Chain A
Amino acid sequence: MTHVLSSIDLAYWQSTLIKLIVVAILVPTTALILGIVFLFKVMSWMQSRKGPQEAGPRGLLQLLADGAKFVQKEDLIPDKADRFVFKTAPIVVLMSTLLLYVALPASQHLVVEDLDVGVFFALAVSSLSVIGILMAGWSSANKYSLMGGLRAGGQLIAYELPMVLAVVGVVIQAGTLSLNGIVQAQANGAIFGFSALGNPFILTQFVGFFIFLAAVQAELTQTPFDMPVAESEIVGGYQVEYSGFRFLFFFLAEFATAFVFAGIAATLFLGGYWFPGVDTSSKIYWILGPAVLFTKIMLVAFLIFWVRFTYPRFREDQLQAFAWKWLIPIALVNILVTGILKVVF
């Protein structure tokens, strides 16, 4: 089967159409998987409560039932809202999520587009969602929304920097911006001449890994960085006036983005689709690659959601201070140390 897959040769428009359809299916599916596994099951175990039990076996179909409920809701747009911007905001947020899926490789050839500037592209499009969130916050003409949107803007720009700087360490080590190239650099690397396990960058870039995960947490506006949507203070932040399908798009985008960010973290620090002992150019990766990547993504996602379920919320000033006074200086030092070590060795 792997030979059949690798020998198919398609025209540009055919392959692109397939890619678009696959991503269109993948985005809701990944959001569902994360939602069911982590938001419902893991969360209820960690917080000693039951979680959904009724819909389907062990409550596994709860999210689908919720989705069906959202579809049947009336489409409400407040009279005072800026209608055009209000309608565009979810599209912008979803666009950011879809574009993130472009660069993530599931095997050497199983990738939407293997961009030369892969990581850089991913970082760039991930900040598109800030615009969507600010649009949603502003256009709702609601005090809670406006405050939530501004909080989100302030938080996302503060954590954009640590994220970008944390990635630089990996780029120095790999010597390339392509995500495929970074995976190969890890597969071909060696730890003190011992090459059987390659060199997953988490071993040398564990500081970068920690900073990256903290920044991802903030970008996703998840607890402990959930000031922008803090239910107990500003109800739901920029989501207050959204209901039904439009709200569903925000929800979908949040979880699909969590998935793809976990994927990028897995690719940068854990070796991505690469399985120890199997050469990255091997044809077996048509099947093995996605499976390995998915396993690593679930590992990283577990870390992300573990923090989400166990930590209390940061105050706004603590949140800004944490980014500017801790993460950014540490990331700068990390870049320097990595650079010096790279040149010396």
Chain B
Amino acid sequence: MSYSDFVRQYLTVALMGGLALILVGALLGVAGRILRPDRPQGQKYLTYESGVDPVGSGWSQSQVRYYVFALLFVMFDVEAVFIFPWAVGLETFGAFGLIEMIVFIAILALGLAYAWRKKVLKWV
């Protein structure tokens, strides 16, 4: 496959992303504007809070109890990306590649076990 074909494939991908904009724009901006009513009343634009007047700001502080998982995720996801090229080429790498990956996954598992032991995976 030539390089320009390769670029073209991702041009299509970009166009497909643009399609989302066009779809939403056409349906919401054009079709919607013709069909839907528009009767502004102050009460309609209040923040919903189960039928009572909203208390304080919507951006209230709350304890995100699982933020540590996010840190753990960043680590693991990057390493999951490393596994893919290995998985594709395993046939050529043979036993050598396999042992390398066993070491890699063992270290990865050790990290998870450490986090587990340190009670990171526990609800705090």
Q: Which residues of A contact B (CB under 8 A)?
A: 12, 16, 19-20, 23-24, 71-81, 90-92, 94-95, 97-99, 101-102, 112-115, 120-121, 138, 140-147, 150, 153-154, 157-158, 160-161, 164-165, 168, 171-172, 175-177, 235, 240-241, 244-246, 249, 316-317, 320-321, 324-325, 328-329, 332, 335-336, 339-340, 342-343
- A241–B49 Cα distance when bound, in Å, is 10
Q: Is the interface of B mostly helix, strand, loop or mixed?
A: helix
List B contacts of A316 (CB < 8 A): 65-66, 123
In angstroms, Cα B36 to Cα A74, docked, is 6
Q: What's the nearest-Cβ distance from chain A to residue B96, in Å?
A: 9
Contact A172 B76 (CB under 8 A): no
Decide: A171 and B88 in contact? CB cutoff 8 A.
yes
Which residue in B47, B54, B80 is a CB contact (below 8 Å) of A161? B80
Determine which of B20, B57, B66 lies in contact with A154 in the assembled complex, contact meaning CB atoms within 8 Å. Answer: B66
Q: Which residues of B pack against A, CB within 8 Å?
A: 8-9, 11-13, 15-17, 19-21, 23-24, 27-28, 31-32, 35-39, 44-50, 54, 57-60, 62, 64-66, 69-70, 72-73, 76-77, 80, 83-84, 87-91, 94-95, 97-98, 101-102, 105, 108-109, 112, 116, 121, 123
Q: Which of B23, B35, B58, B98 contacts A343 (CB 8 A)?
A: B98
Contact check, B123 vs A142: say whether CB atoms are below 8 A apart. Answer: no
Of the listed residues A120, A158, A172, A175, the one surrounded by the most CB atoms of chain B closer than 10 A to its CB is: A172
Residues from chain A with a CB closer than 8 A to the CB of B23 are 24, 94, 98
Give 7 closest A-B pairs by Cβ, nearest first: A141-B58, A317-B123, A95-B20, A171-B87, A79-B45, A154-B66, A157-B73
Check B59–A141 contact: CB distance below 8 A: yes
Which chain A positions have C-beta within 8 A of B89?
A: 175
A12 to B11, CA, bound (A): 11
Asked if B84 contacts A120 (CB within 8 A), the reply is yes
Contact A16 B15 (CB under 8 A): yes
Are A161 and B76 in contact, CB atoms less than 8 angstroms apart?
Answer: yes
Contact A332 to B105, CB < 8 A, known contacts A24-B19, A177-B88: yes
Asked if residues A141 and B57 are in contact (CB atoms below 8 Å), the reply is yes
**Contact in complex: A94, B45 (CB < 8 Å):** no
State in angstroms the CA–CA spacing of A289 and B88 once bound together.
26
16 extra A-B contacts, CB within 8 A, seeds A71-B32, A336-B102, A342-B90 = A19-B12, A72-B37, A74-B39, A75-B38, A78-B48, A79-B45, A91-B24, A115-B9, A138-B59, A143-B60, A153-B70, A175-B88, A249-B24, A324-B121, A336-B101, A339-B101
Can you identify 6 A-B contacts, CB atoms within 8 angstroms? A74-B37, A74-B44, A75-B38, A142-B48, A335-B83, A335-B105
**CB–CB B57/A321 < 8 A:** no
Q: Report the bound CA distance from A161 to B83 in whole Å.
A: 12
Q: Which residue of the partner chain, among A94, A142, A246, contacts B20 with CB atoms under 8 Å?
A: A94
Least CB distance, A248 to chain B, in whole angstroms: 9
> Are the CB atoms of A175 and B90 closer together than 8 Å?
yes
- Name the residue of chain B whose CB is nearest to the CB of A21: B19
CB distance from B115 to the nearest CB of A (A): 8
